[in-house]
Structure formats: C-alpha cells, structure tokens
Structure 1
Amino acid sequence: MAGRRRRGGSPDTWDGTWEGEFLDTIHGHYKDALDALPLEAMPPLAPRLLDAGVCFGFADPVTNIIANALSSREPEPNGGGTKKRKRTRKLETTGASVEARSREEVLSKIVAGDRPSPPEARTVAERSLEGLVSFLTSYFRYLPTLDALHYLGLARADLLVAVSLIQKDRCCRRRDQLRIRSPAVKTALKCAAVSARQPNFDGFLAGCFALVPQIKMITTQTLSADGSCRLTVQDISHLSRLLADPPKLKRSDKPMNLVAKRFHDPRITASGEDVPGQLTESLRGVLMDRVHEHYLKAVSRFPMKDLQTRHHRGLLKAGFCFGPFDPVSNIIVNTVWYDTAFLPSKEFGVDVICTLRHVESRSVNGLIAFVRSCSPAISEHKAMVYLLKSNLDACKAVRMAKSGECDVADCDDNGYKAAAKAASHPNPEAYCEFVMQSLASVRSTVRSLLRASHMLSPGEILRLSALLSFSSAEALEPTIQLTKDALKRITNYNEDFLTEQSFVHGKVEVALRSYEQYKGCHYDLGVICGVNDCVGKETGIFDTKFQYTHANFWASQDKGTATLFFSEFSNDEDSNYEPICYPVSGLSTQEVRCCYCEYQGVRIVHPIEKCWERASGFERIACGEHNFTNAEIVSRAKLIDNQVMGIFVKDYIYLDPTHDAKLIQTVNRAESVMNLDLDAEMRRIKSVAAAGHYPQEASFLI
C-alpha cells in the first residue's frame, strides 16, 4: 500500500497526491481498535465503527475510534433476554453479525482496494484523513495541506500531537495554545466533521466534548498503554453511559496535558529541526500577526485626536517596531521622531487608517535583517524563531542567536543600518544617526515617559516630541514635481479615499451609537484602523461590490482608556441590515478566523459572539461550497504579506514632494508608460534593437 495515491473529493482536503503511508498508519490504528472491541459479542459495533468511527478527536487515535463509534447510539450485547435475542437475530439477517464475525473481514472494509474511492464511497480511514487535515488547516492560519500532512506523518495521525508540534514550531505563546473551549477549536472540529462526512454530526460533536473529562480514566484504566487490551461487554456499556451523560467540563480538563506522554511512542520521530520546507513562509504570517498586535497597542496609546490630525503620517511612513526599546515604544518613538524631523508640506486629518499591513510588512523585513546582520550565520527561518521567542525584541533575539554571549551593544550599528535598508525607511541615513547617536542622550528619559501602559496625554506627546527634536526641522522645497497626468491620477485616488472614508466613518458611527443605546453608555469614536469591504457575496453588475464591510476601530469612555471594537455593516447606503458592533476581548486575530478577511490579507480582530454568522465560512470551505479554498487563502496571504515595494493606492494621500522624490519619479515614469501607444513604442524598440542597440526603457516595458 505504501506510495499509493488517491484522488477526488474537495479541493482543500483531497488534493490528488495522498501518499499511501499516511493511510497505512491510520489502518494500523483501526486494527488496534478492532482488536480491542468485543465484536463477536456485540455485532452492531462493526457497522457503527465503519460508519462513524473516525480517528480524530481529543484523545489518541484508537480511543477516538472507539468513542466515536459508541457516540452514535448505545450498542446492546447478545443475550440478556428474549427481546435482545430476537433483536440480535434481526441484525444478523441484515448482515450486521456477518460483518462482525471476522476482524479481518471488517478491516478489509476499512483498507480500500487499489482503485481510487469516489467521495461517496470512501472508507472511514480515508474520511478520517480528510478530517484530520481539515481540522489543522481550519484551526491554524497559513497552513497548507502539504504541511498539515507532514505534521500528521510525524505525529502518526494523532491530531493533538500534530497540534503540539505545530505550536512548538510556531513558537506559540501560552495564551495562544489550543483550548478546547475556544471558538477556533469548535469551528475546526465542525470543519473536520463536515470533511469526514460524519453521519450524525451533532452526536459526533457532543461525543468529542463528552470524552474530554473521561480521557485520562479511559486511557489509563480501560485501555492498556500498548493497545493490547480486549474490552468486555461491560466495559463498552460503561463507556457508552459515560459518553451519554458526561460531567461538566472543568478548567482542569485539558487534553493537551496528556499529549506529552504520547511523545514517548518510539514510532513518533518528531524533532524541532524536522519542519516542512514551506514553514518559513507560514512563520512569516505568524510573525506578521504578532507585529499587528503591537501596532494595535501602539495606536491605542496615542491620543486619538493627535493620531488622526498628525501622527497617522509618521506611523505609516516610518513607525517601525525596531529600535532600542520594546516594540510598542519603538513604534511610538519612531513615529513621533519622523513627524518632528520631517515636517510635511501640508497637514491633514484622517478618520480611517485602512490598513497597517504595509508598515507591518516592512517592519518584519527590518527585524529579520537586524537579527541576521548581527548573527550572519543563522537562516531567515531561525531569525524569525528567535524574534517570536523574544516577543519581537531584536536585541534579545540576537542574544538568543549567540547563546547569550553578546552584549546589547553588539546590536547597534550594523543591525540598525540593515534594518533601515530592509524596511525601505524613507530616510535611512537620518534614522541611523538618530537611533545610534542622538537618542542615547535622552534614552532613559524617553523610556521613563513610555513606561506606563496607559494612553498618553497630548502634553506627554508634546514632551516626547521635544525630547526627540535634536535639530530644527526646516521646511524643504520640492526637488521634483508630479507630472500633470500623475497629479490627476493621484488626485482621483485621494478623492476616492475621502469618499470611502466618509462612508465607512458614517457606518461605524451608526454601529457604535446602536451599541451605546443597547448598553446605556457613551463612547468617543477614535481612529478606524482596519477595513475590509469585500465580505460576503458580490453584488451589482456594472459597479461590482460586496455585501458587507468588516472594520476595527478604537473608542474611549474617558481619557485614560481605549477599547478596540469590531463592526460589520452593509455596503449599501440604504440597507436595512442591522450593523454588528462588539468590543473584542483581545488584540489577537487567532481566536476567531474569518475567511473573507484572510483572503483579502486584512488583519481584523473579530468578536467571539455567536450572532456573527459569517464565522461559518470555513465550514463551507470544508464542504467545497465556497468560491475559494484554504490553499488560495494561504497563497494570497503569502503574496500580500510580501508586498512591500511601491505604495498602496490608499497610501497615496501621504505622497509628499518635499520628502518622496524617488517615489515621485517612479510614479511619473509609471504614468508615462500607461499613456504610451504601446504598439508604436514596441515597434520603435524593435527597430532600434534590430540596429544593434537595446534601449534601457525596453526592460521597463517588458
């Protein structure tokens, strides 16, 4: 069976390249389960196992198979009265006892033949594999199917062992590790059940959670450690009653705590260095998520009016999270310094920061370059691991890389130069001089000012700006102007931004006021710091748009605190759709996943409340009913997160002739190419090339 490939099924979970060794491992678990069950005494167990006994859940694979088979309904043993004997004879006539007479015969129904199985005829082992992959790709962001298979191979198809390996390789913090009560776990389990085509969907989910309080007792008392135990009829009846009437879950019921014992299985050959080839890209997505949390914290510490009227520019152009302080303080210091040192040609206010993605991605590039510059021998992957373990503190990451044998001083010159260059800082020379020389004289004062975690007052921001004013900022004259065509296009972009901003701000304002009325309180709306207007189905014919928008925004009840909110509202002006508005419990995007926001590459923190119905998107992906797949989400996330060159359309409002000469040259050149008669230009280039010359602009056009 090794090496056999199977085809068919949903695009995300049955991709046509399934190696037989994965199924061979799963078949071994089914053999152990069959050896443990009293099939001769309880014939109905066999068809139930073949129908619903998938190997995934919160216990080890063999225990999951048995528990899932029992969760459908309680089986009855042979004997024990006339009625039971009659029922047994009836089951025999329908073929149930025939299927249970020989364990090899039942196993042959699990181990499929050489021909590929169509979706409706897949065995319980094949459906188990689909469910295992679906759980992992639905629970973990940025996880391709191939990587999920790799981890399952290392874990010998043990779901929670695979989860533990992924968490270890991704350097998950304690608060981000799997908790069975979390919405993300419940959604992933539903996706797994849908992919595996479980016949009794509700019974399966109830059985999985009912097993949790009993796992330790079942695995240590009823089933032997080596799986060689044979269960009795009384054992099966007892297990069935436990699953039918489980006690309430306790905080101490943590099945992940039992995973460590299963690592001692000599057949599990996992290692921290043995990771998939694509993991570096996945790890970058995880690092971007962590960076986003720091930017949300930094935004919450600015006085909202100050951020909206001035410092939004410095944040998006140069507010990087690397520097001599913690990441949040670095973002604040770098933002205020840039706005102080490089005065804009004109100031303007905004209500909406559509996305932080651009500056976040460049920050990640800068952090990685910093660590690798100070420790040239380590790989990009290792640099990201150290950054995650150090909570994005680049100097701590360098010390980890050098096994604690270096000084913080080793993190200065080369590291900051490399970081500024990799992050495409608008003025890398000035930044390096600032952070490596000027800042040293006021570092302790700045650190003291930023030590508290409350929202800074306007006075504190002014004081910080004064501390970072090492030279008087002079108003510069533009060295290059936008061409007429480029200016027209950028003017159109800016007008579009203002129109969209007005629409989004109005919708968010209505949503927040509705929440205030419901709660009986008042909030001051702050900055809107994340918008995805591509949620739901496409509507319209000529003017294509989507049904809904998702947005995060800050609002405050007093001057010292700010709360992050989520809102979902209709993209129609006159819609009767009641907007959703909830405060979110944390700043992590991991707790609740949204396939629409992930597909667009927009990091939005979503609420846990059940009334947010579009959380079921991943279940539709698992069914193959969505218009995109997990593979496409992962691919787009990789592309978007690496998009750091150039400028986003909605960031053209920050294009400043006094500071962005090189960028303006690029914009002018791009606009001139767009207005060329390309056919005539290509004929000209070919004629010149035929004469033995190859003009430089040809490469730009091609």
Structure 2
Amino acid sequence: MARNISLILRFTYGYYDEVLNALPLERMPALAPRLLKAGVCFGFGDPVTNIIINTLSFIPDKDAEPACGEPVPEPDGARIRKRKQMMKDLWDARAREEILSKIVAGNIPSSPQARTIAEHSLEGLVTFLTSYFRYLPTWDALRFLCVSRADLLVAICLIELGRCRRRKFRFRIHSHTVKTAFKCAALSAKLPNVDVFLTGMSALVSHLTHIVPPDNFRRRCYSVEDVIRLSKLFEETPKPQKQTIPMHLAGIRFHQYDMKDPYGVYLKAISWMPMKDFHGLYHHGFLKAGYCYGPFNPFFNIIVNTVWYDTAFPTPGALELDMICTRILIRVESQSLDGLINLLLACISRISEHDAMIYLLKSNLELSQAIHMVGKDGYDTSSWDANAYKAAADASSDPQIEAYVHFVRESLPMVESAIWKLLSTQTLSSSKILHLSTLLSSSRSHPSKSLELTDELTKDALEMVSSYKEKFFSQQNFVRKKVEATLLNCEQTKGQYELRFICTVNESVGSKSFRDLKYSYSHINFWASPKIKHPVSNLSTNVEGSRIVHPVQSYCGGVMDFEKMATGRHTLTNPRIISHGELIACPVGIFVEDYNYFDPARDAKFIRAMNKTAWEEKLNWGDKIRRIKQTAALKMDL
C-alpha cells in the first residue's frame, strides 16, 4: 500500500506540474490559492482537466481574491508594459517552485488538516472507488489507481472489466450512485464547497469536448482570455449531453496506457467444456479437485485436474446437475489460491507468503512465469520436488493427496505434450474430453489411500440428506424452467441463447416489511451462450417479478451512511464491511450442499458432520439448555 501511495502521488505531482505550466498564473495570481484549496484531480475528465476545472469553478469567500476569470486590472500605455514586466519578474522560477512545494509533501501527514491538495486528491480518489464499487478494499483501490496512473475513469474501466460488468450496469455519469460517490469523495478531500464541485462536474460534461485536446495528451497552454472563456462556460446552464463522452475519452486513454483485460479462469474453464458432459459428470471433479495449479497454465490446469479426478475417482452414482452452489465454487477458488501460495513457499527458500502472492498477481497466476520472476530477483528456485505439489495439495484440502502427487509427478509428464496439443483449440468437444480422460487414465494404476471408514450415516442423518437432495432438485427444476422461459421470451434474448448453468438462487429479495417473511422476488445468476457460436455471455435476470430489487435512491439511510463513512463520522468503515463480507463470501469447510457429492467410501468427515447435525436436530430445548450449562461449567473448571 505504501508503495502504491507513493507511485500515485508521483503521478499526481506530475499533473500539478503540468497545470502550473498551463495556467497564466503570472497574470492571474489569484488562481494559485484556488488551485491549492480546491484543485483536486478527480472528476469526469482526465486528471489535468479536472484540476483546471475544479480550480476555475471554485468560488472564494467575499473580499478574498478577485472572481475567477477576472485578470488583474491594467492601465494603458507605459504602465501596461511596466506592470507586465513586474508580474513576470514576480512569477519567476522560485515562485513557481514555492507553489509546487506546497503540493509536493512526501508521505501523507498524520494530521488530515496538514495534507496538501495532492494528498486530498488521493483521499478523494480512493473514497470514490470504495463508495461506488461494493466490497472494494482500500488496497485494491490503490492498486487500480496505480495501474491507471491516478486517472479515475480509467481505473473504473479496469475495475468493470475485472468484475465482468454487463454494459447495462456499467458506469453512468448521471446515476444517483455516481453522484453519491462524488459527494463522498469531495467530503473526504475536505473541499471547501461540495455543491460547487458537483455543479462544476456536471458543467464539465457539457463542455468536455471543447476543453480536452483532441489527442487527449497534448500539452496545454492557456491565455488569460482562455481562462475567462472557460470560466464563463461554467456560468451557463449545462446542456444535456451524451453521458458516454467521458467514458469514451477514458477508453482512449485506457488503450494509450496499454492495459490488459483480466479474466476469470474458472468461468472460462466451465465455458470451454461441453455442457452435456459438465452437467452429467465433470461438475463433480470440478468442485472436488479442479485446482488451477500444475504444469500448464491455470486454465488448462483446471480442466486437466477436473477430468483426472473424475477419471480416477468417479462419482458413485449418476447425477445430472445444472445448478452450482456459489459458495462451493468460491471454496475451490480459495483452495486453489492457497495451493499456489504454498507451492511457491515449498519450492523457493526464504520467500514470504506476501511476496509469493505478489509474484502470483504479477504473473496472472502463471506458476512457471512466477518462478522465473522469483529467480531473476535472486531467490533460489532449485528446491522443486514432489514436496512442493504435496504442500499445494495439502493446503487445498485435496481429497486424494498421495494420488494427486503421483499423478502430477509420475503419470502426467508422460502425456504432457499430447495434452498441450489437445487443449490448444478454441473449444473442447465431447470426443476430445473422452480422449483427454483416456490419456489421464494411467493414473488409476496408483491406488488411493483407503480411509477404512468405521462410521456410516445414521438413520436420521440419511433421512436429512435425502430431504436435502429432494429439495435441491425440486428447486433446480423450477428455476431451470423459469430461466429457460426467460431466455425464450425476454426481449433482449428472444430465444437466441441457451442455458449453460445456474449459479444458485437468492430467494429472499424484496420483502415488504421487517415483519413480512414473504419475499416478492428471487435473484438468479446464470450463464448462457448464443446458439450460434459466439463467446459465452453473462446474464442476470429476475424470474419471479418484473425487476431486480437493488438499493436505489430511496434506500433508507444509504446515502447518509456513505457520507458519514467518507468523513470518518460513522462507526462502520470500509475494511470492517469487507471483513464481514469475507466471512460470507470466502467460505471454507463442509457445506450442506456437499450432500450432492457425498461418497460413502471416502467422505468420512461429511459422515461425522451430518451425524452430529442430525443428532442436534433431535434435541429438545431442555436438552440444549443442559448442554449449554455443561459447556459453561467445563470452561470454568478449565
């Protein structure tokens, strides 16, 4: 975080240096204090444009300085020339450096009141991103700002790509959410007049194409007349303009910065597999052991590990599944990350867990590339052996650790080149998946460790599992029919898409009151692909109502909460909200949904967990109270 803060401030210092060269401060000295007080670099333009516009639109207190756009009065003749020379002498290099020194202050001071306008800009940039994007931590906001060179709209483009947002839900400059986020940013940046800032931003949209140079990067130089003209533009009533202009210009800057689009390897892996095969068989191996580490790239590793596990340890019974629990999908992703980190820790001496994660981020989870980068930085990478993959499998809670280590170290190298050739295609057909399974079948020669199960499901636990399964498949059938009907009848799709899989359902949306236990809507996330061969699309719709219920402008207390958080007057903070969300969004352990994949020959932990759950369900209130008292007494004795 400290490194990113330093880099972002260096970018902003460069923008302020450019502004000092662009504005006629020697003839309009009143602009300097306004720049230092209100010239933040965030808004609907590029950073330099934002600084200039925020400076010009700032209205000082009465009797403080001349109004913005009014040059210092000059008499005629010799007195004009004399005054120009005097102003030029005053505005020498030392005066300019003095202003710049009030912007450049090094590290952020401990006292918010002592911060410079550049540091206030950084506060506002981070606050906007963490207010606008739900569950975006501060360190992640700083990372996006660093990559985008402190250009707010370019950072937004990056985050939207990373979160795979549909065009319908992307950044809209006139939305209430954007206005609220800008207000929070202005409050955290300690701007003297938040309303003036918001008005200036609205006016900027109307005149953006007249202010920004055509190439978006050309050095600017404004005369006194230019400043007066720009100032008068903001006195006019803003004209309605297409809200796509700011993001269009940001897109140009985005490509000039040469940035790359991130992608989700797990969703891509699912989209490449034939859906018939995935629904009928490979969802089992995908969620049990579809880890992204191995000798290939992360995407290929997921497919290879998935097919290998279902080949070596097939599911005990036929199971047609097209609705995946999101929590289980997140679990296998988290386990993959744990495995990758521990693999690097095992094969590279003296590297820290934090550094291992940084190298994985820089290499986009490409293990070989990460190891190459570590080696170039002077680390010893010669410790690569079976223990590295064992450490990864153990950290990932792989259900068959010994079999996997034997597979990846002994069996896989013999067919590695054939697998590379097979997977180097655009999609995988059922015949190619079958061929891949045949190539990986040699791993069956290594016997899996026998668990020697001494437990089995009790009668109550067996009835509970059967009840869970019946409820799950009933819900799956209902949801699938609704989604398929939506794809057929929805105006946006009109039968052009086919369902691939459903990422579970939230049935508890849109209650009428706190006491009303009935919900008006359900929210379903699912993947669908065009029936003609195009890339897979991500769709989201509501199947039990006419709209999706999300907090909007009328959301009770929402805006006030964000504003209080931005100014530090709220008991909640962004990190606290995220840490609470991580308890829900990054689950580990055994879930109720694991009954779908229950294997009585291997899942001893599941058997014990379900037996305990079923036993606790049979307890009456008296039994539960006695258990609580016994536990409390035991703790006192200890």
Where on the TM-score scale, by shorter chain, does this alignment land: which range? 0.5 to 0.7
Q: 1:176 to 1:523 in 2, by over 3 A?
A: closer
Q: Is contact 1:552–1:564 with CA below 8 Å preserved after alignment?
A: no
Q: Is 1:204 paired with 2:150? A: no
- Measured against aligned partners, the alpha-carbon deviations of 1:136-179 in whole angstroms (never above 9, x if no partner) come to 31466754458869999xx9xxx964469x98xxxx899769xx
- Residue number in structure 2 paired with 1:324: 295
Query: How far is 1:480 from its partner?
Result: 3.0
CA distance in 2, matches of 1:684, 1:578: 50
Q: 1:213 to 1:550 in 2, by over 3 A?
A: farther
Q: Is 1:569 paired with 2:542? A: yes
- Measured against aligned partners, the alpha-carbon deviations of 1:268-290 in whole angstroms (never above 9, x if no partner) come to xxxxxxxxxxxxxxxxxxxxx96
After TM superposition, the structure 1 stretch with the greater mean CA deviation from structure 2, 71-80 or 348-357, is 71-80
- Residue number in structure 2 paired with 1:15: none
Q: Is contact 2:375–2:381 with CA below 8 Å preserved after alignment?
A: no
- Measured against aligned partners, the alpha-carbon deviations of 1:35-66 in whole angstroms (never above 9, x if no partner) come to 978899899x9999999865523678786344
Q: Is 1:232 paired with 2:224? A: yes
Query: How far is 1:659 from its partner?
Result: 1.9
Query: How far is 1:257 from its partner?
Result: 9.4
CA distance in 1, matches of 2:255, 2:46: 12
- Residue number in structure 2 paired with 1:634: 578
One-letter amino acid of the counterpart of residue 457, structure 2? L
CA distance in 2, matches of 1:336, 1:348: 16
After TM superposition, the structure 1 stretch with the greater mean CA deviation from structure 2, 213-222 or 431-440, is 213-222
Query: How far is 1:569 from its partner?
Result: 0.3
One-letter amino acid of the counterpart of residue 500, structure 2? G
Q: Is contact 2:338–2:396 with CA below 8 Å preserved after alignment?
A: yes
Q: Is contact 2:487–2:496 with CA below 8 Å preserved after alignment?
A: no
Q: Is contact 1:55–1:128 with CA below 8 Å preserved after alignment?
A: yes
- Residue number in structure 2 paired with 1:271: none
Q: Is contact 1:142–1:637 with CA below 8 Å preserved after alignment?
A: yes
Q: Is contact 1:55–1:61 with CA below 8 Å preserved after alignment?
A: yes
Q: Is 1:57 paired with 2:46? A: no
Q: Is 1:665 paired with 2:608? A: yes
One-letter amino acid of the counterpart of residue 667, structure 1? M
One-letter amino acid of the counterpart of residue 194, structure 1? K
- Residue number in structure 2 paired with 1:599: none
Q: Is 1:137 paired with 2:130? A: yes
CA distance in 1, matches of 2:512, 2:27: 56
After TM superposition, list the pairs within 5 Å mapping 1:208-607 onto structure 2: 209-210=208-209, 213-214=212-213, 220-222=219-221, 232=224, 234-237=226-229, 254=252, 293-355=264-326, 356-403=329-376, 411-454=384-427, 456-470=428-442, 471=444, 480-515=455-490, 522-529=496-503, 531-533=505-507, 541=515, 543=517, 545=519, 547-558=521-532, 563-570=536-543, 572=544, 575=545, 577=546
SS at match of 1:214: coil
Q: Is 1:68 paired with 2:54? A: yes
Query: How far is 1:543 from its partner?
Result: 3.1
After TM superposition, list the pairs within 5 Å mapping 1:40-189 onto structure 2: 55-57=41-43, 64-68=50-54, 70=56, 77=70, 131-138=124-131, 142-144=135-137, 161-162=149-150, 183-184=170-171, 186=173
Q: Size of the alignment, in residue pairs?
A: 542
Query: How far is 1:326 from its partner?
Result: 1.5
Q: 1:375 to 1:215 in 2, by over 3 A?
A: farther
SS at match of 1:367: helix
- Residue number in structure 1 paired with 2:587: 643
Structure-2-length-normalised TM-score: 0.67
Q: 1:404 to 1:439 in 2, by over 3 A?
A: farther
SS at match of 1:555: strand
Q: Is 1:194 paired with 2:168? A: no
Query: How far is 1:452 from its partner?
Result: 0.8
Query: How far is 1:443 from its partner?
Result: 1.5
SS at match of 1:524: strand
Query: How far is 1:625 from its partner?
Result: 11
CA distance in 2, matches of 1:75, 1:684: 75
CA distance in 2, matches of 1:629, 1:215: 41
Q: Is contact 1:309–1:348 with CA below 8 Å preserved after alignment?
A: yes
SS at match of 2:609: helix
Q: Is 1:655 paired with 2:598? A: yes
CA distance in 2, matches of 1:234, 1:556: 52
- Measured against aligned partners, the alpha-carbon deviations of 1:453-504 in whole angstroms (never above 9, x if no partner) come to 21x2111111211221123799999753112332333333323322332332
Query: How far is 1:525 from its partner?
Result: 2.1
Query: How far is 1:523 from its partner?
Result: 3.2
SS at match of 2:531: strand
How well do the aligned residues superpose, as a CA RMSD in angstroms?
Answer: 5.6
One-letter amino acid of the counterpart of residue 663, structure 1? F
1:680 to 609, 612, 626: 626
CA distance in 2, matches of 1:307, 1:564: 18
Q: 1:452 to 1:436 in 2, by over 3 A?
A: same
Query: How far is 1:316 from its partner?
Result: 0.7
- Measured against aligned partners, the alpha-carbon deviations of 1:340-395 in whole angstroms (never above 9, x if no partner) come to 11122212111211321111111111111111111132222221221122221223
SS at match of 1:399: helix
Q: Is contact 1:194–1:623 with CA below 8 Å preserved after alignment?
A: yes
Q: 1:336 to 1:149 in 2, by over 3 A?
A: closer
Q: Is contact 2:499–2:528 with CA below 8 Å preserved after alignment?
A: yes
CA distance in 1, matches of 2:304, 2:591: 24
One-letter amino acid of the counterpart of residue 366, structure 1? G
CA distance in 2, matches of 1:468, 1:301: 19
Q: 1:632 to 1:79 in 2, by over 3 A?
A: closer
Q: Is contact 1:138–1:618 with CA below 8 Å preserved after alignment?
A: no
CA distance in 2, matches of 1:64, 1:132: 12
Q: 1:678 to 1:189 in 2, by over 3 A?
A: closer
Q: Is contact 2:23–2:221 with CA below 8 Å preserved after alignment?
A: no
CA distance in 2, matches of 1:62, 1:461: 53
Q: 1:46 to 1:350 in 2, by over 3 A?
A: same
Q: Is contact 2:288–2:399 with CA below 8 Å preserved after alignment?
A: yes
CA distance in 1, matches of 2:492, 2:198: 35
Q: Is contact 1:42–1:233 with CA below 8 Å preserved after alignment?
A: no
CA distance in 2, matches of 1:259, 1:563: 27
- Measured against aligned partners, the alpha-carbon deviations of 1:305-352 in whole angstroms (never above 9, x if no partner) come to 111111111111111111111112111111111111112221211121
Query: How far is 1:133 from its partner?
Result: 3.5
CA distance in 2, matches of 1:532, 1:659: 31
- Measured against aligned partners, the alpha-carbon deviations of 1:199-227 in whole angstroms (never above 9, x if no partner) come to 4746514516558723989994437xxxx
- Residue number in structure 2 paired with 1:93: none
